[in-house]
């Protein structure tokens, strides 16, 4: 299982923009299988639906709050900073109200969004475990990346996020 936790960090990173080993869809499905396995459903009737629904949950944008956290800014200040540089600077579709001002609350909510689709499998406990794991992993990975890396370093926080979530899911399942 520890090998799967390590793979969770690796697949969180390749699901990003670093490697393109396969296609993004395949990478997300493999990542979903890893998470399903850590949650106790690696080879049962829930495996495929769990992996597919996880892929949907991990897909919505998260760039604004992560970029803000990695640059040690609030999402609205980060957006203005990007606009001044003529860079893409839109809030994510789910980022409304206070989530445009509070970086770490936005990251917690984004973590919860990751596990919500898994509810459709009927695996309520596992869905709550995934939501909890990513609600912890999103902000904590950014904090750890900020300690060890230069501001704006996306790659390391993706590894950290996968490892933190994988360990949490394994520990809670």
pLDDT, tens only, 30-59: 999 999 999 999 999 999 999 999 999 988
| Angle in degrees, CA 117, 164, 125, rounded to 5 | 40
Question: Rounded mean pLDDT of 92-100?
Answer: 88
Distance CA 21, CA 131 (A): 27
CA-to-CA dists, residue 44 to 49, 118, 129, 135, angstroms: 10, 15, 18, 26
Query: Would you state the pLDDT for residue 152?
Result: 63
| Angle in degrees, CA 13, 55, 21, rounded to 5 | 40
Task: Name the 3-class secondary structure at 34.
Answer: helix
Distance CA 35, CA 32 (A): 5
Distance CA 52, CA 30 (A): 9
What pTM, to 2 d.p., does this model score?
0.91
The tens digit of pLDDT for each residue in 57-75 reads 988 766 778 888 888 888 8
- Residue 94's pLDDT band (boundaries 50, 70, 90)? confident
Higher pLDDT: 75 or 28? It is 28
Higher pLDDT: 80 or 11? It is 11
Distance CA 67, CA 20 (A): 21
Provide the residue count of the chain.
173
The tens digit of pLDDT for each residue in 125-140 reads 999 999 999 999 999 9
* Token pair of 7 as six digits: 């793979």
Query: Would you state the pLDDT for residue 5?
Result: 97
């Amino acid at each position: 299982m520890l090998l799967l936790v390590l793979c969770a960090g690796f697949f969180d990173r390749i699901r990003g923009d670093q490697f393109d080993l396969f296609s993004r869809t395949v990478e997300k499905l493999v990542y979903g299988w890893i998470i399903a396995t850590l949650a106790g459903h690696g080879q049962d009737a829930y495996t495929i639906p769990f992996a597919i629904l996880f892929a949907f949950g991990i897909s919505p944008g998260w760039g604004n709050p992560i970029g803000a956290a990695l640059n040690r800014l609030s999402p609205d200040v980060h957006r203005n900073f990007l606009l001044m540089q003529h860079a893409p600077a839109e809030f994510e579709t789910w980022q409304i109200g206070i989530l445009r001002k509070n970086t770490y609350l936005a990251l917690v909510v984004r973590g919860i969004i990751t596990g919500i689709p898994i509810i459709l499998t009927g695996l309520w406990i596992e869905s709550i475990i995934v939501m909890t794991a990513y609600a912890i992993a999103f902000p904590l990975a950014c904090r750890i990346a900020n300690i060890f890396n230069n501001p704006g370093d996306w790659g390391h926080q993706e590894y950290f996020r996968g490892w933190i979530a994988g360990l949490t899911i394994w520990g809670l399942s």
